[in-house]
Structure 1
Amino acid sequence: MNFYKMLEMIQKRPGLYLRSPSVLHLDSYLRGYFLAKSAMGVVLSPEEVEFDNFQEWTQERLEMKANQSWANIIFFYSVSEQNSLDIFFELLEEFKSSRRNDES
């Protein structure tokens, strides 16, 4: 399964994967995911490597100069935990679209 497909599954049914629907819980999930891949010596897919740029992209997109994680930045701009997850998925789609446009 590819990385973005996994995120789509989480978006559709966050309760199956996250403690509660929150960008901060998603961040914890993804940190564990990447840690496990690293510990097992599994090479990152192109999508996972691309996602590494999401931090810088989010800071630029939301004009945040503070040294905060993408999850904390998104949470700062949200009105609730659920809203933070919704904002993440909106930004993720914009990020993926911008990457495709850069390749054209």
Structure 2
Amino acid sequence: MEDFRKRTAMYIGDKKITTLKSFIDGYFYATWTNDIEVDDKIKFDDFHDWVAGQFKWKESTAGWSKIILDECKGDEELAVDKFFELYDSFKTRVK
């Protein structure tokens, strides 16, 4: 994961939150359609609501990537950095 974090653009083509979202969606689609079990540490089941709560949004219907991008004033690269910061906190949250 650290290599991916440090060199995101190398793995997904560019350092943009919208590209990262598409990559993650593709990953989960591939695991779902191929019936591959996903480690609990990387499940995104509650990530939309959790991110909305972190930024005091009333709802999460915009989705985590759009919330983060909006909070980063449209800066795609900054939003990727913020994603990893939030993801680290999300993984270690008390359920």
Q: Give the TM-score normalised by structure 1.
A: 0.78
Q: 3-state SS of the aligned residue for 2:12?
A: coil
Q: How many Å separate the matches in 2 of 1:92 and 1:81?
A: 16
1:19-57, Cα deviation, whole Å (9 max, x unpaired): 2101111110000000011111112211133x3221111
1:54 corresponds in structure 2 to 47
State the shift of 1:77 in Å. Answer: 1.0
The residue aligned with 1:96 is: 91
1:44–1:77 Cα change, 3 Å: same
Given that residues 17 and 79 in structure 2 are in contact (C-alpha distance below 8 angstroms), is that contact kept between their aligned partners in structure 1? yes
Q: RMSD between aligned alpha carbons? A: 1.6
Look up the equivalent residue of 1:85 and give its one-letter code. Answer: V
Paired-residue identity, %: 29
Q: How many residues align?
A: 93
Distance 2:89 2:31 in 1: 26
Name the CA distance, whole Å, in 2 between partners of 1:85 and 1:48. 17
* Structure-1 separation of matches of 2:42 and 2:83: 16
TM-score, reference length from structure 2: 0.85
21, 25, 29: which is aligned to 2:15? Answer: 21
CA-CA distance at 1:65 after TM superposition: 2.3
Gaps of 5+ in 1: none
Higher normalized helix content (fraction of residues):
1
What does residue 35 of structure 1 align with?
29
Structure 1 runs (4+) greater than 4 angstroms displaced: none
